[in-house]
Structure 1
């Protein structure tokens, strides 16, 4: 068991060199749900771009395209209305090296097929929010998880996805939460980031923790959309080449540092915009 910290290796991984171009830093795809539900995925996509992914594409169903077009600038936009669209897109652009799915995605039955396509295509992925709920409702999807998946549940999602492992009272101790997170990772073979004031990150080989209870600014992360930003940060870091476990740890730490940089009054939109100041403070 160890504590997440900003090691020299982690700092080095966040740097960019002058002789590199955008595709040297990966290409992330963030999938959104229908019109009027695109905000969460747009937050995740913006975070992936701010954390340094070279290119980020928002994949949206046809009815959401006008809404997304009106809201984004630096992000790319493609129609992804059904699993076949996703399959063709990945075949057409093999540079896409991570997919983020869940924020604002929706719980409609047909979305299960899209999630199944993501899990079977072989592309590393970050799964949050509605993707986790879909898996809790269809346990066959859990069997498709693999080592290049990162799951980012909050307490309620963790309880639904891992019956018997989640918190059954007011709060776990740190040791109990670390153990539950490690057991969840061992069950699935994936990386699990269990969110909260103590955020624990595990893969089948180990577990780390970030305790933000003594960081007042992080209390303001209890706001809608903050978790969507975290999933986007992790996806962006994976696009840049960090392994899933390392990306989840680094994303959790940058997320907390961005919250501290903003402080009281924080809303989710502030977090990606705080990253340049965080990077500058780190000497990146």
Structure 2
């Protein structure tokens, strides 16, 4: 397939063969280490959703990286997910150094601190999944964000956030806009919507066609960010990880149907994975 071909994601596509199944001698550190940056004391739920999704999709270790006021709240609300506290961007970067991927943005806070935290993370070896607040904050200065990204990083905007980073680009159509955005940002772009478009900076493009309306609920995007981060932490190619996560996210929601809330999604992931497992 040419790098510029359009592709419809389905469970029979190439990403299925690339899913990172553990071997018989696997241990948690071999299965990938994911970090998720939490917001402040009253805004920890989004990070907890992302962290649980990262665990459910197979990351061997997930650590929530919390400002001091949030750490006691998060620690009381999680079990298998680990909790670490940071007070400065430099402290956050030190915590992220041993991690394979970090999600930043879900309820992280629309403050300059989030910008500085993202810039600090970009100087580590972790691949970044940039979502929500960490996208909105770069409105009018998107170049500052793009300068700190590389091809392993992933941006996950809905159309409003996409317009803030790439003003006017949607007029070209969603697929052309996503492809141009990925080339401009130098990172994978996941343009969310009824048919989510996934574009890589090298020209690869996937369009997911199993979207369901039940995903129109608060927190579902946080779960998707955690799923993408969890697959990347397991060293799956970022474009393929995004394609796989988007499909599995929609498939999980479709299995539940009406009444879905974001808290339901992580615990639906095992049944989705079970149907994809080649064993």
Is the TM-score greater than 0.5? yes
Q: How large is the Cα RMSD of the aligned pairs?
A: 1.6
SS in structure 2 of the partner of residue 197 of structure 1: coil
CA deviations on 1:145-187 (whole Å, 9 max, x unpaired) are 21111000001000111011135xxxx8xxx211110010011
Shift of 1:15: 2.3
Q: 2:159 aligns with which of 140, 145, 155?
A: 155
Count of residues in correspondence between the two structures: 270
d(CA) in 2 for partners of 1:39, 1:2:
34
The answer to whether 1:231 aligns with 2:236 is no
1:72 matched residue in structure 2:
78
CA deviations on 1:64-102 (whole Å, 9 max, x unpaired) are 0111012100100000222111122234xx2x1101000
d(CA) in 2 for partners of 1:262, 1:44:
19
SS in structure 2 of the partner of residue 15 of structure 1: coil
2:245 matched residue in structure 1:
251
2:110 matched residue in structure 1:
107
Q: 1:36 aligns with which of 33, 37, 42?
A: 42
5 Å matches for 1:120-199?
120-139=123-142, 140-166=144-170, 176-199=173-196
The answer for unaligned runs of 5 or more in structure 1 is none
Structure with more helix by fraction: 1
Shift of 1:8: 6.9
d(CA) in 1 for partners of 2:85, 2:31:
23
Given that 2:15 and 2:241 are in contact with CA atoms closer than 8 Å, whether structure 1 keeps it comes out as: no
Task: Report which stretch shifted further, 255-264 or 82-91.
Answer: 82-91
Given that 1:102 and 1:129 are in contact with CA atoms closer than 8 Å, whether structure 2 keeps it comes out as: yes
CA deviations on 1:229-248 (whole Å, 9 max, x unpaired) are 00000000001110110111
Q: 2:204 aligns with which of 203, 206, 229?
A: 206
Using a 3 Å threshold, how does the CA distance of structure 1 residues 160 and 24 change in structure 2: closer, same or farther?
same
The answer for unaligned runs of 5 or more in structure 2 is 1-5
Shift of 1:5: 1.8
CA deviations on 1:207-236 (whole Å, 9 max, x unpaired) are 1101236xxxx2100000000000000000
SS in structure 1 of the partner of residue 83 of structure 2: strand
Given that 1:48 and 1:236 are in contact with CA atoms closer than 8 Å, whether structure 2 keeps it comes out as: yes
Deviation above 3 Å: which 4+ runs of structure 1?
A: 7-12
d(CA) in 2 for partners of 1:68, 1:78:
10
Given that 2:50 and 2:222 are in contact with CA atoms closer than 8 Å, whether structure 1 keeps it comes out as: yes
SS in structure 1 of the partner of residue 51 of structure 2: helix
Given that 1:201 and 1:245 are in contact with CA atoms closer than 8 Å, whether structure 2 keeps it comes out as: yes
Using a 3 Å threshold, how does the CA distance of structure 1 residues 9 and 62 change in structure 2: closer, same or farther?
same
State the TM-score, normalizing by the size of structure 2. 0.92
Using a 3 Å threshold, how does the CA distance of structure 1 residues 188 and 8 change in structure 2: closer, same or farther?
closer
2:90 matched residue in structure 1:
84
Task: Report which stretch shifted further, 137-146 or 153-162.
Answer: 137-146
Task: Report which stretch shifted further, 136-145 or 225-234.
Answer: 136-145
